[in-house]
């Protein structure tokens, strides 16, 4: 922590736009202080912050915002463990950032959840792919996974008085409301399975027949 100011003032490269975040437990039995550490894909430290276990989400956001803005804005992929508080970073960036969570609990060990959050007005659509690290083992060319799209309700600020007809008409025409109505319709597929083919020569993906395109 004593050298954190020096670490965070230096703008480091962000290869492929990847940032990795994790909690480090200090002390012989891991029961002392907890630090939150963010590094780049070359294992260079971007920022460090002490964790308040009573408000881990706020501690994670504070540590993340210590990273210089020029570096933060280059973020494309955030890789963390299964701690739910890291989702708050991905939500800030919306669909610009993919969040990869590698789960370590005994029941879920090896599971990987790939998420993207699309902002719809005050709400979010959570695009989620569930797979396993074995799917990426030894350069497999065909990957199979489960996917789902969830609606996360946000807070809506209510105006006093009756809404005017003009306001009601404008609200209906807002793009995010139209997309929400589409999601809420019975015809919208909200979950399923998919197969994709990976071409390691071109680093491109192709969708197998029968997979619903988003």
Residue pair 69/92 in contact (Cβ under 8 Å)? The answer is: no
**Cα gap 52→56, rounded to integer Å:** 5
**Cα gap 136→142, rounded to integer Å:** 9
**Long-range own/partner contacts, residues 107-115 (CB < 8 A, 24 or more apart):** 108/82, 110/134, 113/82, 115/87, 115/90
pLDDT tens digits, one per residue of 129-186: 998 887 776 666 778 889 999 999 988 766 665 655 545 445 555 889 999 999 999 9
What pLDDT, on a 0 to 100 scale, did the predictor assign at position 77? Answer: 96
What pLDDT, on a 0 to 100 scale, did the predictor assign at position 79? Answer: 96
Structure pTM? Answer: 0.79
Low-confidence ranges of the chain (pLDDT < 50): 1-2, 166, 168-169, 214
42 secondary structure, DSSP code: T
- For the chain, the structural domain boundaries read 4-140+148-175
**Cα gap 50→3, rounded to integer Å:** 13
DSSP per-residue letters across 169-204: HHHHH-HHHHHHHHHHSTTS--EEEEEEEEETTTTE
Alpha helices in the chain (DSSP H): 4-9, 56-65, 69-72, 87-93, 165-173, 175-184
């Amino acid at each position: 922590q004593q050298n954190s100011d020096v670490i965070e003032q230096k703008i480091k490269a962000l290869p492929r736009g990847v940032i990795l975040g994790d909690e480090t437990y200090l002390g012989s039995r891991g029961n002392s202080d907890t630090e939150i550490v963010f590094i780049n894909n070359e294992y260079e430290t971007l920022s460090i912050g002490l964790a308040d276990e009573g408000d881990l989400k706020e501690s994670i956001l504070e540590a993340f915002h210590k990273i210089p803005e020029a570096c933060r804005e280059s973020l494309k992929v955030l890789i963390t463990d299964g701690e739910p508080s890291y989702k708050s970073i991905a939500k800030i960036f919306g669909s610009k950032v993919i969040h990869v969570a590698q789960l370590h609990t005994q029941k879920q060990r090896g599971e990987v959840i790939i998420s993207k959050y699309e902002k719809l007005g005050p709400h979010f659509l959570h695009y989620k792919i569930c797979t396993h690290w074995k799917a990426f083992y030894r350069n497999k060319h065909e990957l199979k996974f489960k996917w789902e799209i969830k609606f996360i309700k946000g807070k809506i600020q209510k105006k006093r008085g009756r809404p005017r007809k003009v306001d009601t008409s404008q609200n209906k025409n807002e793009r995010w409301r139209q997309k929400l109505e589409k999601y809420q319709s019975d015809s919208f597929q909200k979950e399923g399975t998919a197969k994709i083919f990976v071409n390691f020569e071109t680093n491109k993906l192709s969708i197998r027949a029968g997979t619903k395109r988003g």
